[in-house]
């Protein structure tokens, strides 16, 4: 039996939640933002009226007010957003127990087993939209398809407050004419690479040679080819089902060889940032760090070390990785590839008990809060929204988590 997958994406979630208690702002352009007194504060979310003025998420308040001088700004209240996210997902569970949250305002639902109870996928999506609107006063857009990727792209296709079905029969007509930047998991840097290779639309991607895409983008190229052709069989993972993960790592073959300490530090900071972010996503911490180093002649070494306390803090993983490299590699000797991996993983709640009495708790808490703040911005605005200064404008071939870039439209 073919699966029926729904992807639900709340419309202007932060702004919509704020408007529930600020009806006076309902008919004026408004946005949720950082500190309005700061020239460099950014827009976190906006309503449709602000969007009509060209206000976009992640732009500075200063820039947004140039477009819309009467823009009304509201400070964010993340506790409210978390509360409403839980209420929304509780509604989803009325229709299926197969619910996979993707971010605070997005979830996938596998409703294959619910069709006899509630009707077709489109009917279920419409019931969910009406229920959320009636009970919570919020709207969402839903995509219905036979796989997760097309369901996600369906929820993006028409906004606000709409249901779009993308089927085996219509996906070429609906999706293939779209610009390549509209493809899920294609961020701005990847889109530019594809366009330089004369791949301008999703249809161009789907009709490309898979081997060519692999040569251009590595494993991601093969994945994108499958996704563009509707070849996604990934399951909707129940939120309470945690797969046993043995390690979490990330490696990069660099555009040029690393030869200086600055090169190495930039690379390790980017890799450690990705690994720690993935650990936090999986709600895990690592009691060890491993690095793999490959030179231009393909000679590879692996080194690892145990940590005093389990961690998913970027700075701690970076320090361990850099310490390993310093003790096992001569700075100046060229490096072609580095992989950083978190090993000996434990549940982050369990690790809190194990590391309760570690030193420098204040510093760890500060770094944890910094990492979580960066996670929140990236979850909402994409991997390029924020990063460490040393990683910007590098010539090493490091894309800033671009493949996972997400935006609120």
Catalytic residue numbers, as ranges = 106
Give 122: exposed, middle or buried? Use CB within 10 Å, 0-12, 13-18, 19+. Answer: middle
Residue at token pair 């972010």: 277
Residue carrying structure tokens 């309760």: 356
* φ/ψ of residue 35, rounded to 5: -60, 115
């Amino acid at each position: 039996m073919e699966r029926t997958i729904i992807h639900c994406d709340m419309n202007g979630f932060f702004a919509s939640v704020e408007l529930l208690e600020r009806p006076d702002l309902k008919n004026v352009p408004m946005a949720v933002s950082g500190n309005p007194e700061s020239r460099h504060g950014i827009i976190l979310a906006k309503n449709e009226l602000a969007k009509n003025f060209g206000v976009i998420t992640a732009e500075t308040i200063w820039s947004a007010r140039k477009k819309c001088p009467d823009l009304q700004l509201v400070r964010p209240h993340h506790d409210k957003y978390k509360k409403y996210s839980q209420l929304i997902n509780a509604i989803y569970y009325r229709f299926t127990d197969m619910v996979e949250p993707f971010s605070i305002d997005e979830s996938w639902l596998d409703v294959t087993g619910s069709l006899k109870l509630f009707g077709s996928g489109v009917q279920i999506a419409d019931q969910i939209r009406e229920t959320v609107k009636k009970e919570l006063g919020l709207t969402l857009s839903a995509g219905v398809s036979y796989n997760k990727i097309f369901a996600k792209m369906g929820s993006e296709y028409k906004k606000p407050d709409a249901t779009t079905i993308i089927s085996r029969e219509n996906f070429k007509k609906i999706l293939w004419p779209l610009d390549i930047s509209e493809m899920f998991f294609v961020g701005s840097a990847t889109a530019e690479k594809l366009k330089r290779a004369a791949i301008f639309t999703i249809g161009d991607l789907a009709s490309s040679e898979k081997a060519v895409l692999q040569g251009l983008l590595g494993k991601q190229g093969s994945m994108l080819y499958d996704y563009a052709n509707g070849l996604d069989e990934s399951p909707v993972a129940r939120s309470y089902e945690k797969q046993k993960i043995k390690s979490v790592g990330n490696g990069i073959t660099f555009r040029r060889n690393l030869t200086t300490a600055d090169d190495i530090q930039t690379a390790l900071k980017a890799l450690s940032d990705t690994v720690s972010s993935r650990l936090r996503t999986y709600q895990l911490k690592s009691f060890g760090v491993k690095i793999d180093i490959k030179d231009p002649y393909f000679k590879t070494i692996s080194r690892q070390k145990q940590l005093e306390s389990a961690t998913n803090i970027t700075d701690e993983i970076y320090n361990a990785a850099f310490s390993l490299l310093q003790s096992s590699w001569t700075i100046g000797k060229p490096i072609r590839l580095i992989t950083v991996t978190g090993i000996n993983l434990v549940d982050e709640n369990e690790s809190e008990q194990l590391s309760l009495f570690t030193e420098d708790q204040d510093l760890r808490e500060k770094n944890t809060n910094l990492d979580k703040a960066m996670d929140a911005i990236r979850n909402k605005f994409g991997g390029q929204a924020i990063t460490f200064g040393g990683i910007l404008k590098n010539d090493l071939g490091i894309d800033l988590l671009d493949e996972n870039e997400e935006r609120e439209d």
